Structure 1
């Protein structure tokens, strides 16, 4: 992944054992997208899938012949499509719950590349695809830069409890916002800027066990998939790493929508 596209999670500072050093020498690290190899198997287990072969990553899987002969876009993992929650009441999502395409975004409010995506690319995707009912965007908190990342994630969740998550998202990702830090006073200012009505409740919610549990759930999901940088995305089961150009996202969404339409048309055609 290009250095300009995403921010890697900080590496562990723990000293590796002699056994792990030997293993590292004998095996070269992979540079493929974040859902590969054993990580795919682990993700499949997390999702309750009985078996999964990572070798399928380079080829599209066919649907049942009675449904459609169309193939999923290359690099799509059907098991990962199940990560879409499609909860109509989810305050950290936008777009129809039954939209044909769901883009899951794993991001950190202290990540510069996440901010670039939020300012330059996401608004265009929302305008074009969420606006016409094609796309649903589901946010997942993936704080990787320590205490302030964690605090900002919980604050964003708290803003969502009062229906102002996306407004908080915009304020926290505004140009120059992260340079001011995400201390307690600053987070309260951002909540006020986002139009959060009850600031005292906001503070309580941000420090609640529910907020901590929600952030941990999202973070654990990201790491289980093998996401190692922010922002990372899954579009209808197809992983995409980094703040890629607008056209890259548009192509992925278009291909996912086309495949979903073919899936829907298949059974109808078979029933004629």
Structure 2
């Protein structure tokens, strides 16, 4: 699982009330890259003992059965029309994914695990997946992240996501021209609008917002996840995600059947 070079890491930006719980994701992320360390207190599954608070801070709370932190659960945006999300905004479980398109482990998760989770939980109205652009490998990662956002403006994020994570795609690079080719492959209907959005300040702000959120959580590698506030680091086996989602569903008080009819739709809207 790729780690952020020390020279690229940024300081924690989250408020004091969330800081202690946020550190859990950072520790889980670090631990997932150091499985041989017997002293680690946080396992890659995201279960952990509550971390100590700083002097004067209230201790972070943790839901004992699920290993979830309510403070982190609040990071779910549930924004209607979010083109970087799939599933109902009122789904009982939200999985936030922080990832980079140059990350091989992110690609493995996207190809092998995520489609099964969408079929099993998103399509049933039980799960919402919210993507967060977390480019950590320089300009090509930034290009791909802005391309993902630009594709989302035309309702084609997940098609772009599939094209960018297809086997062999990473090896072709993510230059600006290559990103435009991926948009064409994804079926983005208006190439001129895509090219404009790709270089826009709005794209840069959106990527920075997601990136700052991940840095604020202390994430040190990709992919990193929060499932209703429970941190999971790395492209873990599908069962790890299934167990976490099932646990979150039980904690939410039921099967999470959607309140209204119809199938799940990306972002509950067009993404524009």
Provide TM-score, normalisation by structure 2: 0.76
Give me the whole-angstrom Cα distance separating, in 1, the residues matched to 2:173 and 2:8. Answer: 24
Matching residue of 1:32:
42
Gaps of 5+ in 2: 10-36, 257-272
Correspondent of 2:160 among 168, 180, 186: 168
Give me the whole-angstrom Cα distance separating, in 1, the residues matched to 2:218 and 2:253. Answer: 29
Query: Does 2:203 match 1:215?
Result: no
SS of the equivalent of 1:233 reads strand
Check whether the contact 1:33–1:239 (CA below 8 A) recurs between aligned residues: no
Moved over 4 A (4+): 28-31, 33-42
Check whether the contact 1:232–1:242 (CA below 8 A) recurs between aligned residues: yes
Matching residue of 1:21:
none
Give me the whole-angstrom Cα distance separating, in 2, the residues matched to 1:232 and 1:40. Answer: 22
Give the superposition deviation at 1:13. Answer: 8.0
Give the superposition deviation at 1:131. Answer: 1.0
Matching residue of 2:18:
none
Give me the whole-angstrom Cα distance separating, in 1, the residues matched to 2:184 and 2:76. Answer: 30
Correspondent of 1:239 among 222, 226, 231: 231
The structure with the largest helix share of the pair is 1
Matching residue of 1:148:
140
After superposition, the CA RMSD in angstroms is 2.8
Matching residue of 2:30:
none
Matching residue of 1:130:
122
SS of the equivalent of 2:6 reads coil
Over 3 Å counting, the alpha-carbon distance change for 1:40 and 1:188 in structure 2 is farther
Give the superposition deviation at 1:11. Answer: 2.1
Query: Does 2:185 match 1:198?
Result: no
Query: Does 2:59 match 1:53?
Result: yes
Give me the whole-angstrom Cα distance separating, in 1, the residues matched to 2:165 and 2:208. Answer: 21
Give me the whole-angstrom Cα distance separating, in 1, the residues matched to 2:110 and 2:248. Answer: 21
Give the superposition deviation at 1:184. Answer: 1.4
Give the superposition deviation at 1:116. Answer: 0.2
Query: Does 2:3 match 1:8?
Result: yes
Check whether the contact 2:95–2:225 (CA below 8 A) recurs between aligned residues: yes
